[in-house]
Amino acid sequence: MLNREDLLELTRRMTPKRNCFTRIAGGYMGAEGYIDDSFNVHFQKLKADETGKMLQIMKTIPFSETNKNLKVHPFPAEGRAGKLRQLLTALIQCELKNDALLDTLYELIGEKYKAAGDYAILVCQGNYDIPLKGSDKERQDESEEVYRFLILAVCPQIGSYEPGEPEWGFLYPSFSDRSEDRERIAVYRRDAGRSHPELMELLGESD
């Protein structure tokens, strides 16, 4: 189970003034799953209006209703899921600076996703320096861990290269007990009743 307070703590670092994201990349996909165009930039180089828009999209996932729209799932280290897990780990380590790895990620999703029209795959890499909390739960300045993570959002295009509200996405590694959990991934669905089994297959389950 995900802890709502843990995720709210994380989303407080997803504002223009307190932004934990280092880089953002994306692939604009045709309905058939092919890459039409892509981008990869340092988050701080986005224009002000783009920054607000992208933060809102990315924040949607951890800010969504916990254990309903956002649920934690095991993320196997073997088979198809293991290959995706290795890919995501490599993207975290390189902080999204490898376009070949990103193209592989877009292609994996494009092969599976059953889209009604053109869509965008957006990926952000973030670093959260987790502050310690005392026994009274008061924050302290010291930190023992940096949580390094990816948020991915699959969004329908509502205009030319204009992503709308995410339909599906994830937070990896999952954020559990104020720490990273590499064995699990937190998966978002805009419609909690729609499972997207074709995408869940990438994560090692049919849902």
Q: How many domains does the chain have?
A: 1
Q: Rounded to whole angstroms, how far apart are CA atoms 88 and 58?
A: 17
Cβ partners under 8 Å of residue 48, min gap 6: 16
pLDDT of residue 133: 73
Pick from 149, 154, 118, 128: nearest CA to 26:
154
pLDDT band at 195 (very low <50, low <70, confident <90, very high): confident
- Say if residues 124 and 149 touch (Cβ distance below 8 Å): no
Residue 138 has pLDDT above 80, yes or no: no
pLDDT band at 141 (very low <50, low <70, confident <90, very high): low
Mean of pLDDT values over 10-19: 94
What does the pLDDT look like over 47-98, one tens digit per residue? 999 999 999 999 999 999 999 999 999 999 999 899 999 999 999 999 999 9
**Domain span at residue 181?**
4-203
Cβ partners under 8 Å of residue 87, min gap 6: 101, 104, 105, 108
